[in-house]
Structure 1
Amino acid sequence: MRNLLIAAVILGLSACGGSNRFENRGGNVRSPAPVYAPTATGPINSACLASDRRARSSLLCGCIQAVADQTLSRSDQARAVRFYSDPQSAQDTRQSKSASDERFWKAYSDYGNRAAQVCS
């Protein structure tokens, strides 16, 4: 259950590190043009780089920060950073019936889905 929670909470991070988009898989002589993801620095980038996840990298963490800058307020980013060190708070937020927690969780889920699209 805890692993499921962590995966759900850090969807952007877990979904973004899966493939090497610069790898030539088709066997063609010409390689596909690289796709560049946005990068930024900020609280999520710092928490991501400090995490123990194998998929972390400066490019990935910078990308998910850039998506966070586009989709989450500063206070929502600060709240999301706490999930890295306290996954139980994410579970509590997700299950909360508070209207503000529900609004935050919707924004956070949208952010995670967007980060998975942009940063993979």
Structure 2
Amino acid sequence: MKRLLLVAVVLALPVPALAGPVDGACMRSDRGGNRGLCGCIQQVADMTLSRSDQRRAAGFFKNPDEAQKVRQSDRASDEAFWLRYKNFAATAEAYCGG
């Protein structure tokens, strides 16, 4: 239910004029270059992640091994971030079809 509400809210938002950290990283990645998809992912990031979390998640585009390190970390802060990141990723996949 929360995810459905989030998707409805995101659909109502205009596409932002300024790119965020996730959009920029997506566009620069080897899988990027799709302005629509990267913009969609950024919209979901804006709804689900803080700016700090967005910058951290953007680093995963350049260095996917870092995501694995965070996922396997025993630090409470890394575990909390990973839960937020998983929510973001699942929501982006559902909303953006990516």
Q: Where does the alignment leave 5 or more consecutive residues of structure 2 unmatched?
A: 1-10
Paired residues in the alignment total: 84
Which has the larger helix fraction? 2
**Deviation sequence 1:63-93 (CA, Å, 0-9, x none):** 0000000000000000011111111111100
Q: Which amino acid aligns with 1:47?
A: A
Give 4+ residue runs of structure 1 displaced > 3 Å after superposition: 36-40
Q: Which amino acid aligns with 2:24?
A: S
Q: Which amino acid aligns with 1:51?
A: S
1: CA distance, partners of 2:71 / 2:37:
25
When the two structures are superposed, what TM-score results if normalisation uses the length of structure 1?
0.65
Q: Where does the alignment leave 5 or more consecutive residues of structure 1 unmatched?
A: 1-35
When the two structures are superposed, what TM-score results if normalisation uses the length of structure 2?
0.79
Task: Please show how residues 8-47 of structure 1 align to structure 2 within 5 Å.
Answer: 39-40=15-16, 41-47=19-25
Among all aligned residue pairs of Structure 1 and Structure 2, give the percentage whose two residues are the same amino acid: 50
Bigger radius of gyration among the two: 1
**Deviation sequence 1:9-36 (CA, Å, 0-9, x none):** xxxxxxxxxxxxxxxxxxxxxxxxxxx7
Q: For CA contacts below 8 A with separation 6 or more, give which structure has more relative contact order.
A: 1
Task: Please show how residues 95-110 of structure 1 align to structure 2 within 5 Å.
Answer: 95-110=72-87
